[in-house]
């Protein structure tokens, strides 16, 4: 669906500093990479006949997404066809949220949540293509659908009435906002968060920066939809007991973090993936959270279990584990006898999306989204007995020919720690070449690392080697970040040494770009090493301004900064801030520093920009309206990729795009070169 949204972006489209057409000659792979068809929310009908999934494709020109439900026979006997308009994508901090469909008993109809201009209702579609219509008219948005009684009835979790939200937002707009622990000063007060397909007045409604609406957090209202009659009523106590909300980032069960939660919708209970330190546990719990079974087989021990899904209506679970190189293994756990059988394993990803949700399952088959470093997402059906794979849809076939190709790289640092990553070398180049590094996560098809802001293939095409490095494994939670930076720096230094010794890269021309933890690592290297020639980050930095913006009474941020980074009050704890914060190290950061940051995160970075500028350092900060943590608007993604592409070509290779539309950009950067005496190649 192409929505009629983003009224504020109509003005933005007229103020993009370089016309979009002017980018056509730059990095020929950037546009198709951003406009790649992404796939998620796979589902198999209970009778095993139908495979269903969601496809969404960005449009840079419209700054929007086309979103559709696609369906095909699970045996591959016919080509996929569009079943229904899937509405709008829901975004959580800039990452897409899965919208898992559910099947009506008999496998002739499917239900799904559809977001349309701030309203989320349940829609139903007949699999033969003869009809799609709205199934509910709830006053509050439907947050979740859980089948009960094998799809004969459905639990609906709904939020507060939309009219109530509207009144609360307008009342606060009229009376002003009391600044307390629920207000994030980094976000606009009125209609600054994108929630359920509309600009809403967001508030902090959970741990850390968990997003919510203006009304206080409350349990959802539980309703029951009878698909036979179409009636919707309030759930009774027995039905309410079957509901388990989706897992959130810092959910806990005892002293374990809950990384995935899969309700059965019946007496089997709730499957959970639990994480504590470096230990992962696959278990089943009842409605009260009491464990009723756990997997003790060797295949469950010592594994990084990522996702779980019930298989059909029996007592068996499918779970996915990942190796150090982000390759997937799918296995079946039979709860009755405790046995585990590996179904399929490979170097690439096999799961429910590029964000790592579980595959869909039935008693006979799995439905997964497959991808690897050089193979873009495609839909595959997997025989549960033999592991044989059949491609049902390959919407990105043109990208399979994209070059250069990535090769898997494995190495150890000086302490013997093992690292993995993927390297693309320029084709036909002899002698050492510049290198761009992205550190954090390299699962599936490689575009630009987490957030896809660094066009790695285009760098390699332009003569700059591109290396994506998987983060060294770490325990969940907020602790040990400084040590994690040191470990990352050791692994990166070892990779540079390896490639320089082989004569593949020039160790004097290395750049690094990153988002979130990857951006923090890039800054750590800029402060504490001389490995890098230039950096680019796309996230908020630890600055004194960041601390005080998030230190209003009742916020947990000061405590988390102390526990995770060792950072106390910046007025008193200058030693630890000097260790971590780039704004306290403007004298040490001598390399060119680009920041392309979401609107909700840029304000604390102004502190850093001003200090770098006062010290005469080469630095530039761009803020992107309406963005959260990961940029999700296609036009912003495109512009950020192009600017990163130009930035590193300039500082690592001494190259400038001759396009007249970019003349001002290079005037600024050459001015930095002179004023800051930053080094670059001739």
Whole-number pLDDT of residue 7 = 34
Q: How distant is the alpha carbon of residue 112 from its chain centre?
A: 22
Burial of 99 by CB count in 10 Å (0-12 exposed, 13-18 middle, 19+ buried)?
buried
Whole-number pLDDT of residue 24 = 37
With b for 16 or more beta-carbon neighbours within 10 A and e for fewer, the 375-413 pattern comes to: bbbbbbbbebeeeebeebbbbbeebeebebebeebebeb
Residue with tokens 């106590």: 237
Pairing type for strands 119-126 and 109-116 reads: antiparallel
Question: Do 293 and 275 form a contact (C-beta atoms < 8 A)?
Answer: no
Question: Do 124 and 109 form a contact (C-beta atoms < 8 A)?
Answer: yes
Degrees to nearest 5, angle at CA 272 with 271 and 276:
160
**Domain 244-395, what architecture?**
6 Propeller (2.120)
293-323 pLDDT tens trace: 999 998 888 778 989 999 988 899 999 998 8
Comparing 267 with 553, the larger pLDDT belongs to 553
Question: Do 495 and 420 form a contact (C-beta atoms < 8 A)?
Answer: no
Residue with tokens 């802001």: 453
Assign 559 to helix, strand or coil. helix
Spatial CB neighbours of 531, under 8 Å, sequence gap ≥ 6: 489, 492, 493, 496, 507, 510, 525
Pairing type for strands 534-537 and 505-514 reads: parallel
CATH code, 401-675: 3.40.50.1820
Assign 71 to helix, strand or coil. strand
Residue with tokens 């973090």: 257
The pLDDT > 90 percentage for the chain reads 76
80-101 pLDDT tens trace: 999 999 999 999 888 899 999 9
CA-to-CA distance for 592 and 550, rounded, in angstroms? 28
Q: How distant is the alpha carbon of residue 400 from its chain centre?
A: 22
CA-to-CA distance for 238 and 231, rounded, in angstroms? 19
CA-to-CA distance for 326 and 324, rounded, in angstroms? 6
Q: Which of 309, 419, 326, 324 is nearest to 366 (CA)?
A: 309
342-367 pLDDT tens trace: 999 878 889 998 767 889 998 889 99
Average pLDDT taken over every residue of the chain: 90
Pairing type for strands 433-440 and 505-514 reads: parallel
pTM for the full predicted model: 0.92
Whole-number pLDDT of residue 618 = 95
CA dihedral 661, 662, 664, 667 (to 10 degrees): -140
155-192 pLDDT tens trace: 999 999 999 999 999 999 999 999 999 999 999 999 99
Q: Which of 326, 583, 323, 626 is nearest to 450 (CA)?
A: 326
Whole-number pLDDT of residue 208 = 84
258-270 pLDDT tens trace: 988 888 888 899 9
Whole-number pLDDT of residue 677 = 54
Extents of the domains making up the chain: 37-240, 244-395, 401-675
The pLDDT > 70 percentage for the chain reads 94
4-35 pLDDT tens trace: 333 333 233 333 333 333 333 344 689 999 99
CA-to-CA distance for 553 and 310, rounded, in angstroms? 43
Question: Do 315 and 268 form a contact (C-beta atoms < 8 A)?
Answer: yes
Assign 607 to helix, strand or coil. helix
Most confident range (mean pLDDT) of 168-182, 253-267, 279-293, 472-486 is: 168-182
Whole-number pLDDT of residue 470 = 95
375-420 pLDDT tens trace: 999 999 999 888 889 999 999 998 988 789 999 999 999 999 999 9
Which of these ranges, 252-261, 455-464, 575-584, 641-650, has the smallest mean pLDDT? 252-261
Question: How many beta carbons lie within 10 A of that of residue 169, not counting itself?
Answer: 18
Predicted confidence band of residue 675 (pLDDT cuts 50, 70, 90): low
Predicted confidence band of residue 682 (pLDDT cuts 50, 70, 90): very low
Q: Which of 410, 514, 509, 503 is nearest to 452 (CA)?
A: 514
Angle of the 634-653 helix axis to the 663-675 helix axis, nearest 10: 40
Question: Do 455 and 29 form a contact (C-beta atoms < 8 A)?
Answer: yes
Q: Which of 201, 208, 247 is nearest to 540 (CA)?
A: 208
Query: CA–CA distance from 79 to each of 68, 71, 73, 395 (Å)?
Result: 15, 9, 8, 11
Whole-number pLDDT of residue 676 = 54
pLDDT at 491 over 60: yes
Comparing 286 with 530, the larger pLDDT belongs to 530
Query: CA–CA distance from 57 to each of 33, 68, 93, 100, 543 (Å)?
Result: 10, 9, 19, 18, 37
Whole-number pLDDT of residue 1 = 41
Whole-number pLDDT of residue 131 = 94
């Amino acid at each position: 669906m192409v929505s009629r949204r983003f009224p504020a972006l109509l003005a933005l489209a007229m103020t993009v500093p370089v016309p979009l057409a002017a980018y056509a000659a730059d990095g020929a792979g950037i546009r198709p990479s951003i406009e790649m068809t992404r796939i998620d929310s796979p589902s198999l009908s209970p009778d095993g006949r139908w495979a269903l999934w969601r496809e969404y494709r960005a449009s840079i020109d419209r700054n929007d997404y086309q979103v559709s439900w696609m369906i095909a026979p699970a045996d591959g006997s016919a080509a996929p066809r569009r079943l229904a308009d899937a509405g709008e994508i829901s975004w959580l901090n800039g990452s897409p949220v899965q919208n898992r469909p559910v099947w009506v008993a008999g496998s002739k109809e499917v239900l799904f949540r559809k977001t349309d201009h701030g309203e989320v209702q349940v829609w139903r579609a007949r699999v033969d293509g003869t009809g799609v219509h709205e199934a509910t008219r709830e006053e509050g948005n439907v947050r979740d659908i859980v089948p009960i009684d094998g799809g004969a009835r459905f639990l609906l979790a709904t939020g507060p009435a939309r009219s109530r939200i509207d009144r609360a937002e307008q009342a606060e707009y009229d009376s002003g906002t009391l600044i307390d622990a629920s207000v994030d000063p980094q976000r606009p007060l009125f209609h600054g968060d994108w929630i359920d397909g509309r600009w809403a007045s967001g508030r902090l409604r959970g741990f850390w920066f968990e997003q919510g609406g203006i009304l206080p957090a409350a349990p959802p209202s539980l309703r029951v939809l009878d698909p036979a009659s179409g009636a919707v009523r309030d759930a009774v106590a027995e039905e309410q007991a079957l509901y388990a909300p989706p897992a959130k980032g810092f959910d806990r069960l005892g002293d374990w973090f809950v990384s995935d939660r899969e309700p059965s919708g019946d007496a089997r209970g709730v499957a959970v993936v639990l994480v504590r330190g470096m230990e992962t546990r696959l278990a089943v719990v009842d409605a009260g959270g009491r464990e009723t079974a756990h997997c003790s087989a060797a295949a469950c021990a010592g594994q990084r279990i990522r996702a779980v899904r019930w298989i059909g209506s029996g007592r068996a679970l499918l779970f996915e584990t990942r190796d150090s190189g982000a390759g997937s293994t799918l296995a079946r756990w039979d709860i009755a006898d405790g046995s585990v059988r590996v179904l399929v394993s490979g170097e690439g990803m096999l799961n429910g999306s590029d964000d790592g949700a579980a595959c869909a399952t039935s008693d006979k088959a799995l439905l997964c989204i497959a991808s690897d470093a050089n193979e873009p997402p495609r839909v595959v059906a997997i025989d549960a007995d033999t592991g044989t794979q059949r491609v049902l849809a390959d919407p990105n076939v043109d990208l399979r020919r994209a070059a250069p190709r990535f090769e898997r790289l494995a190495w150890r640092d000086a302490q013997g720690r093992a690292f993995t990553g993927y390297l693309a070398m320029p084709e036909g180049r002899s002698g050492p070449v510049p290198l761009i590094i992205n550190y954090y996560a390299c699962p599936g098809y490689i575009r630009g690392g987490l957030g896809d802001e660094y066009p790695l293939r285009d760098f390699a095409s332009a003569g700059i080697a591109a290396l994506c490095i998987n983060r060294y494994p770490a325990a969940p939670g907020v602790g040990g970040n400084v040590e994690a930076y040191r470990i990352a720096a050791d692994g990166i230094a070892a990779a540079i040494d390896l490639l320089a010794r082989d004569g593949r890269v020039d160790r004097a021309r290395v750049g690094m770009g990153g988002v979130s933890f990857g951006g923090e690592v890039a800054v750590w290297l800029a402060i504490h090493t001389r490995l890098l020639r230039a950096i680019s980050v796309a996230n908020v930095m630890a600055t004194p301004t960041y601390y005080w913006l998030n230190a209003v009474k009742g916020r947990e941020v000061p405590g988390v900064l102390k526990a995770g980074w060792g950072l106390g009050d910046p007025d008193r704890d200058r030693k630890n801030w000097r260790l971590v914060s780039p704004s306290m190290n403007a004298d040490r950061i001598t390399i060119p520093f680009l920041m392309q940051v979401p609107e909700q995160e840029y304000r604390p970075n102004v502190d850093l920009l001003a200090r770098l500028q006062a010290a005469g350092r080469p630095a530039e900060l761009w803020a992107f309206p309406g963005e959260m943590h990961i940029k999700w608007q296609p036009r912003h993604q495109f512009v950020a990729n192009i600017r990163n592409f130009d930035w590193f070509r300039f500082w690592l290779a001494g190259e400038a795009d001759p396009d007249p539309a970019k003349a001002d950009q290079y005037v600024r950067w050459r001015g930095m070169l002179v004023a800051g005496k930053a080094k670059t190649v001739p």
